[in-house]
Chain A
Amino acid sequence: MTTATIAGSQVELNDEGFFEDPEQWTEDMVPELAANEDIHELDDKHWQVIRFMRQEYFAHGTGPTVRALGKTSGVSVKELYQLFPKGPAKIAARIAGIPKPKGCI
């Protein structure tokens, strides 16, 4: 676990860069978190996915997988990869301040 300063606030991240406590996340951290993932311009679709990830996390205790995102977020899997080229579920979860989605067993 490491402590990082994002948008002037201290947050706890695990070894893979996911938030330990999603409650520490605020919307004003998003541009900096996104920049850390090489995403420098955020459009409405990015925000739609980020907000959806948090909503799903608080409803179900885990963020959705890419496939579930494609079916429920209103953004297709193809578009999701254009928005978050290095892996939508993982990257969007990091930016949305939620733990790594429990996709694979």
Chain B
Amino acid sequence: MTENVVILGGGTGGTLTANRLRKQFSRGELAITVVDQDRAHVYQPGLLFLPFGLAHGEDLIRPRHRQLKKGIDFVESDIDRVDVDGHRVLLAGGQELPYDVLVIATGARLVPDETDGLTGPGWMEKVFTFYDLPGATGLEQALRDFEGGRLVVNVVDMPIKCPVAPLEFCFLADWYFHERGIRDRVQLTLVTPLDAAFTKPRAASMLGGMLEDKGVELVTEFNTGEVDGAAGKLVGFDEREVPFDLAVVIPVHSGAAYVGRSPGLGDALDFVETDPHTLQSKVAPEIFAIGDAANLPASKAGSVSHFEGEVLVENITRFLRGEPLDASFDGHANCFIETGFDKALLIDFNYEQEPVEGHYPGPVGLPLLKESRLNHLGKLMFQWFYWHSLLPGRDIPGVGADMPRAGKHIDRAPRSAPK
């Protein structure tokens, strides 16, 4: 009998899950359907480079269905809701998709409207985000026109996708204005709700030092209550104010809107409550979640989806066979952090182990938590791996799903305490 797997979302997690499943099961065994609201698969790590003229929008987009192997159905439609008890997905047009296994892979969405004033006067004129294509494109022009003044980068609230990206933006802005010869006329400030530059203590202290070296002011524990574009200021809930001439704001994130419309599926922010080790949802045994859509205590990053793929497909297989699930996902994340002037850092960590120094993936490899040109080249090369290795569901040689401990200077750093 053919069983139905429906995958909601044709981004990183959905695509690699569909492709891995297609390799594992014949068409007679398993019908695989991927649903997405549009056809454009955006290489999201590239959005960081766009405002600085280092990438072009059209080069970051490929058709979603072309990333899916033969024998996978692609449906372009908005999703109305999931009928959890009825084991079916209701599409906006009225079509119903019954499922034996459902994979939620619809990621996180930006919700700028949730912050007072953010999309009001000045939005897309002096207030931008680089977290989507229109914002990053608009910001490119705004940066080109910027002749000096206060540039403020503001994270409104966590969780956000790629928590290092706001730092990378600051580092690249420092480089960009140097190149233009006007760095001394630009005041750069990073305004964050965190109590440091980053969430993990050791990387936070290293990255905080780099901000200081590059002359980027850091404002911490700032909870943005209002973005006043007309007056050019951020206003905190504690009434602190940060003035700006140009603001780059990372809006709050939620899960997909249909999650909120599906009774019992999501948490208060429309993310799906998910077991951190098996990736099975806590909603129903036949519902799994991958990537940003899940509420896991892991970074919302493509590398996490990639590392989750192996465990997820194993567990869908086990679930269909009625076997106990494999609880082996360790929260592995791996991020290049672009630091400007053709250099980058690399961090590699999981649920328990915070980023430390050393090398990745073993004692010989890319340097960890240390700036190098090699890491910058790694970051640039990654785009090729993304389309040709990660999305097709291939393993990258030497890069396993579990976080490697060899090569890391773990003894020098305490294990990060659970927060």
Contact = CB atoms under 8 A, between A and B. Distances in A.
B158 A104 contact: yes
B299 interface: yes
Given A67-B252, A81-B225, A87-B223, A104 B268 contact: no
A21 to B, nearest CB: 15
Contacts of B194: 104
Contacts, number: 49
A63 to B, nearest CB: 11
A34 B224 CA distance: 25
B238 A71 contact: no
Interface in A15-39: none
Contacts of A64: 268
A66 interface: yes
Contact of A105 (B199, B223, B237, B268): B199
Contact of A66 (B157, B163, B300, B418): B157
Interface string B267-285: 1110001000000000000
Interface residues of A, number: 19
A47 B186 CA distance: 47
B419 A102 contact: yes
B209 interface: no
Nearest to A72: B268
Interface residues of B, number: 23
A18 to B, nearest CB: 10
Given A68-B267, A81-B238, A104 B419 contact: yes
B225 A105 contact: no
B72 interface: no
B296 to A, nearest CB: 8
Contacts of B38: none
A81 B418 CA distance: 26
B221 A87 contact: yes
A2 B157 CA distance: 31
Interface of A: 60, 64-68, 71-72, 77-78, 81, 85-87, 100, 102-105
Across the A-B interface, the 10 shortest Cβ-Cβ residue pairs: A81-B237, A68-B268, A104-B158, A71-B268, A72-B268, A104-B199, A102-B419, A105-B297, A67-B157, A105-B199
16 contacts: A60-B273, A65-B158, A67-B252, A67-B269, A72-B268, A77-B225, A78-B237, A81-B223, A81-B225, A85-B238, A103-B419, A104-B159, A104-B419, A105-B158, A105-B298, A105-B300
